[in-house]
């Protein structure tokens, strides 16, 4: 069985690890425009969760605080060869624990339609109609604590 290390923090090296995964998944594999993928929220101090296999970052998620007690999980991605190992679910759980420790009462996720079922399995419920984000059909899902 593979062993992975899961870290959540806002250090520069953690941000670099998260961006590595996202470059591979969203820009190179999914062909999302690089300017759309890396936005004004990827700045010093942003919190990222990353799963590592040895020293290789293989999955990531980004935490964005939107309002006083509402936050968003964004940019959830897993390298192709590591999918199906529940890494995304573990990163979401780590983010949820962090959110609760920060006094967050609601987490939102803007999910591509192909990922809605995944988030529902993680306890999120649909809270919007379908809309386009970066040219991709999405839906917001929400979990309250």
Instruction: Note the pTM of the prediction, 2 decimals.
Output: 0.94
Which tens digit of pLDDT belongs to each residue from 6-45?
Answer: 999 999 999 999 999 999 999 999 998 999 899 999 999 9
Which tens digit of pLDDT belongs to each residue from 81-113?
Answer: 999 999 999 999 999 999 999 999 999 999 999
d(CA 29, CA 51): 19
Mean pLDDT of 49-73: 96
Domain residues for 24? Answer: 5-144
How many domains does the chain fold into?
1
**Which CATH number characterizes residue 20's domain?**
3.40.630.30
């Amino acid at each position: 069985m593979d062993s992975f290390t899961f870290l959540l923090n806002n250090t520069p090296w953690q941000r670099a690890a998260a961006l590595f995964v996202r470059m591979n998944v969203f820009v190179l594999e999914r062909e999302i425009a690089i300017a759309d993928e890396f936005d004004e929220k990827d700045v010093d101090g942003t919190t990222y969760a990353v799963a590592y296999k040895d020293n290789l970052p293989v999955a990531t998620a980004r935490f964005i605080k939107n309002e006083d007690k509402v936050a968003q999980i964004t940019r959830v991605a897993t390298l192709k060869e590591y999918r199906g190992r529940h890494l995304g679910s573990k990163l979401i759980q780590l983010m949820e624990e962090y959110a609760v420790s920060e006094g967050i009462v609601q987490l939102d996720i803007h999910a591509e339609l192909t990922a809605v079922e995944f988030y529902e399995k993680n306890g999120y419920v649909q809270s919007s109609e379908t809309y386009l984000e970066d040219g991709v059909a999405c839906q917001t899902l929400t979990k309250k604590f």
